[in-house]
Amino acid sequence: MDKINLRAVYAKYGNAKYFSHLDLMRTMQRAIKRSGIPIWYTEGFNPHIYLNFPVALPLGTESYVEPMDFSVVEECDLDELRDKLDNAMPPGLNIISVKPQIMKNTDVVSAEYDVTLSSENLSAEDVIEGFRSFLSADTIEIHKRSKKKGEVIVDIKPHVIVTDISSEDGLAFMHFKLPAGNSFNLNVNTVLDAFTDKTGISVNTVCIKRTKITAINGEDFV
Amino acid sequence: MLKDKIEKVLLKVQRPSRYIGGELGSVVKDKSKVNVRFAFCFPDSYDVGMSHLGMKILYGLKNLREDFWCERVFAPWEDYEQVMRENDIPLYGLESLDPIAEFDFIGFTLQYELSYTNVLNMLDLAGLPVYAKDRGEETPIVVGGGPCVCNPEPLADFFDLFILGEGEEVNLELMDLYAKMKKEGASKSDFLHEAAKIEGIYVPSFYDVSYNPDGTVQSITPNCSEAKPKITKRIIRDMDKVFYPDSFVVPFTEIVHDRAVVEVLRGCIRGCRFCQAGFIYRPFREKSSDTVCRQTKALCEATGYEEVSLSSLSTSDFSEIEKLLGDLSEYTDKEKISLSLPSLRVDNFSEELMEKIRKIRKTGLTFAPEAGTQRLRDVINKNVSDEEIMNTCRMAFEGGASSVKLYFMLGLPTETDEDIIGIGELTDRIIDLYRTVNVGKRSPKLSISVSCATFVPKPFTPFEFEPQASIPEITRKQKLLLDSTNRKIVNVSWHNYRISILEAALARGDRRLSAVIYAAWKSGCKFDSWDECYKYENWVAAFEKCGIDPTFYDNRTRSFDELMPWDHLDYMITKEFLIRENKRAHEGLTTPNCRQKCSACGVIQRIGGGCVGQD
C-alpha cells in the first residue's frame, strides 16, 4: 500500500533545547525506532527513516509548536500513534499531536517568539528604551552570510515586527514576529545580536520560546 | 544550584548539550539514598569518551546497585573550560550536576598515555590538588584503571590507587569496602591499607623506588605490610555470565562511535609482538553466539540505534562467527539496522564471510599489514602473507570495491630500507591487481590510502626491550616512504611522530616522569592526542626543566635483566615468555596463534586450564 503522510507537533524544552537541528534529526530517528510504529523507510541503497522539518528551531530556543513530517506504511489510530511516539521520546522532547498534513511544508512564512532578557548593568526599562530606539532607526543593516553570494548586507528593519514589549521584576519581555521557512528565515538571535551591535547594550537571554508558526494564508500552520 | 550557573553560560559554547546531561538512559538517583558516589571520568572530550565501551559497562554495573551512584564526567573542550573558570563552575557530574569534589571516588579510565595531562587538568577543574599527597582527608579517593595501568608509574604521584585488569568484580569489591569503612568512620589511610589487600588493587604510595647510578630502576620495595610484592591483574572467568548493559546513554549530539556496541570476546589469540592489547588482555575468552545475539537485540531495542558494531580485538577469530552473522543479520535486516565489524583480519576471510560482509559493508576495505615485507611481518609476528592480502583484495575488487586503506608502522625492530620500499611495492601490486580485475570495464578510480604510525614499544610486549627510532631516523624513513610510492594513486599520511615520542616516554616511564607531566600541564599542555592542541615545545621544555632526557626512555635498548618500572605488576604473562618471543623476533621466526599451539605465555598456569586450544 501507499505510505500515509503525517505531521506531528512536538515540544523541545529543558535540556533538549541545547542540541542543534542536526542532532534533532538523529535523536528523532532513534526515538521513532524505539517506539516501534510502522514508520516508512526510504527505498534505496541505504534505507533510513525519512523525516522532514518544515522549519528549523534554533539552538537554545524552546518551543511547543514545532512541526515534523513523516510517513507510516499502515493505517493507524492517530492518538495511539501519538502516545507510542511520545513514550519513546527522550527527556525534553514531547509529541503533542499527530495529524494528517493539511498544508504544504513550504507554506510556512513566519513565526512568533516570546523573548525574556536581563542585563547585568541596566534596568529592564533601560533595555526596553534601548530596544525602542533600535527599532525606530530607518534601516537595520546586518551582515548575512549567504551560500551563493558570500557575505551580503541585508536591511532587516521591514521584517522585524515587535507586537508587545514590557518589563516586570527586572526582566524585559518582547514578542516578535519574524519571517520563517524555506524562502526567507530570520533567526531571533540574529536580531538580538544586531541590537547589541547597534546599541552597545549587552543582554543575557533568559528565555526564548517560539509560540506560533504561521502559514502563507495567515492561519496557523497545520 | 550549579545548574542555574551552568545554564546561564551554556549557549556561549560549542555544542552545549555535551555539558548538561539529561540524555536518554542517563541514571539520576536521589543522593540522600545512596552510600557511595563515583565520578567516572574519561580524560578526553565528551565525543571521544562517550564512545568508550568500558565506561558504558561499569556505569551500568555500578548503577544497578541501589546504594551506589556512578556519574559521567568528561574533559570540557577549551572554550567551555575557559567559561567554567571565569564563572567559578567546578567540574561536575553530568547526572546530578554536583561538583565531583563532593563525591566519594573520582575514577579515571586511562586508555592512552596522551590523556595524562587531561587527568591533572580535570582534578584542577574539580578544585582539588593534583598531587595525591596534597589532598586531605575530606577529598575523594582518586583511582585509575584501564590499559595504561599496566605501567601507571608516571602517574604514581597523582593517584591514590590503581585497579589492574578487568573491572567488573573489583570495582564493586572496592566500593563495598569503602561503604563499610565509611560507616565505621575510617580514615583515608586506613581505607587504602585495607584496599591494598584486594586482589588487583595497587596503592603506589606503599612502594619505594630506588634508582641505579645509570638511571635504571634498582628496586621497587613495599613499605607496609599490606603491600604485596606483586600485584596481579583481575580477570573475568565467564563471559556469558559477566554483566553487560542492556541499554546505553544515548547522546543527543553526534559522538565518534555513535552506535550500539556488543563485545563478543576478550583477549586475542594472535600474539602480534608490538601489540600491548594482545598480551595484557589474555586469556582469550568468548561469549556464546546466543549471548551476543540476545545482547544485540536488547541494546538496539533500548537505544533505537540504526547501527550495531561487534567489538573485540579480532572479531573474525570468534569461533562461531558464521553462525553469529547468520543469526544476527536475520534480525538486523528485518529491523533495517546496519551491522559493522571492525577489527577483521585478512588471513581468515572466507568466501562466505566475505559475502556476508559485502552485504553489510558496501564500500571500502581496511587492512593492517603493519609492515611492507614478509620478513618484517614475520619479525612482528603479524602472520599475514602477501598472498592473503592479494586474495582478499581480489575478492573485494571483484565485488566492486574501489578503495583500500592500509595501516603500517615505521621504525619497527630490525626494519631496513627494503622494508619501507616494500610498502610502496605492495601498493604497486594492489594497483596492478585492480587494473587486471577491472580490465575492459568502466571502473571507478582506485584510491589507496596508506596511513603510517611510528612504532611505540610498550610494556608487557616482547618489544618492551626495544628502542624507538630516533627523530632523524623517523623523518628519513618517512621521506623514503614518500619516494617509494606511486603518489598519483596512493595517498600517504602519518601520525605526528612528535606525539609518538612522547607516547613512548610515558608508556615505559618511571615515577620521575610525574614531575614532567606536572610541568607540561602547568605550561598549558592538555588534549595532547589532538594534533591541533599538542604543544611539542612545551613538553621539550618540561623535560629540560626536570633534568630528564626523554631519549633515556625512548631510544635505549633495555637488557633482558633490567628491572622495568612496572615489574611489580603481574599481568600473568611471564618475563621468560617475553624474552623468548623477543629472541624469536630477531631470528625472524613466527609463533603460531594460541588456537594452533600454546606458546606457554604463562596465563594457563595462572588460570588453571580452560585456555583456548587447551580444552
If asked whether residues B15 and B136 sit together in one domain, one would say: yes
Is B252–A16 a contact, with Cβ atoms under 8 angstroms apart? yes
Indicate which CATH number applies to the domain containing B584: 3.30.750.210
Look at B303 and A30 and tell me if their CB atoms are within 8 Å.
Answer: yes
Instruction: Report the candidate in A12, A18, A135, A23 with the shortest Cα–Cα distance to residue A67.
Output: A12
The model's confidence at residue B294, banded by pLDDT at 50, 70 and 90, is very high
Q: Could you tell me the CA-to-CA distances from B112 to B46, B128, B253, B372, B474 in Å, in that order? A: 16, 23, 24, 26, 22
Question: In 10 A of CB B449, how many CB atoms?
Answer: 17
Q: Residues B138, B284: one domain? A: no
Residues B78 and B191 in one domain: yes
Provide the grid cell at B478: 618517512
User: Would residue B15 count as lying in a domain?
Assistant: yes
Residues 6+ apart with CB under 8 A from B377: B369, B370, B371, B383, B384, B385
Q: A19 vs chain B: nearest CA distance in angstroms? A: 5
Read off the pTM. 0.94
Tally of helices (H runs) and strands (E runs) in chain A: 4, 9
* Structural domain contains residue B68: yes
- CA distance readout (Å), B601 to A7, A171, B222, B613: 63, 71, 27, 13
On the CB side of A187, CA atoms within 13 Å amount to 13
Chain B residues within 8 A of A18 when measuring between CB atoms: 10-11, 16-17, 20, 252
Pick from A15, A34, A49: CB nearest B22: A15
Which grid coordinates belong to B492? 600517504
Q: Are residues B266 and B224 in the same domain?
A: no
Residues in chain A: 222
Q: What band does B154 get if pLDDT is binned at 50, 70 and 90? A: very high
Q: Residue B596 is part of which domain span? A: 259-360+572-615
Task: State the burial class of residue B458 (Cβ atoms within 10 Å of its Cβ: 0-12, 13-18, 19+).
Answer: buried
Summarize pLDDT for A129-173 with one digit per residue, the tens: 999 999 998 888 888 877 777 888 888 888 999 989 999 988 999
What CATH number did the domain enclosing B59 receive? 3.40.50
Q: Could you tell me if B45 and B121 lie in one domain? A: yes
Residue B351 has pLDDT above 90, yes or no: no
Query: pLDDT confidence of B247, banded at 50, 70, 90?
Result: very high
pLDDT of residue B343: 60
Q: Which of B232, B250, B269 is the last residue of a domain?
A: B232
B179 plus B278 within the same structural domain? no
> Model confidence over B545-558: pLDDT tens digits?
999 999 999 999 99
Question: Are residues B154 and B269 both part of a single domain?
Answer: no
Q: What is the mean pLDDT of chain B?
A: 93
Of B21, B303, B336, the CB nearest to A15: B21
- Within-domain flag for B250: no
> Is position B498 within any domain?
no
What cell does B78 get?
577549551
Which residues, in sequence order, are bridge partners of residue A93?
A12
The answer on pLDDT for B501 being more than 80 is yes
The stretches in chain A having pLDDT less than 50 are none
B473 and chain A in contact, CB less than 8 A: no
- When CB atoms are compared, the residue of A23, A33, A92 closest to B304 is A33
Q: What is the mean pLDDT of residues B289-305?
A: 96
**Among B604, B500, B523, B569, residue whose Cα is nearest residue B163:** B569
- Top CATH class, A4-101: alpha beta
Task: Note whether residue B484 is domain-resident.
Answer: no
Residues of chain B with pLDDT > 90, as a percent, come to 83
Verify that B210 and B305 share a domain, yes or no. no
- Number of domains forming the structure of chain B: 2
The DSSP output letter for B250 is B
pLDDT above 70 for B152: yes
First to last CA, chain B: 58
**Could you tell me the three cell numbers for B105?**
571516588
| Domain A107-215, CATH number (from 3.40.1390.20, 3.40.50.1820, 3.40.190.10, 3.30.70.3190) | 3.30.70.3190
Tell me which chain B residue has its CA closest to the CA of residue A25: B252
pLDDT of B606 above 70: yes
Compute the average pLDDT of residues B331-346. Answer: 79
Residue B72 maps to a domain = yes
Residue B570 near chain A (CB below 8 Å): no
Domain boundaries, chain A: 4-101, 107-215
3-state SS of B28-57 is CCCHHHCCEEEEEEECCCHHHHCCCHHHHH
ipTM given for this complex: 0.90
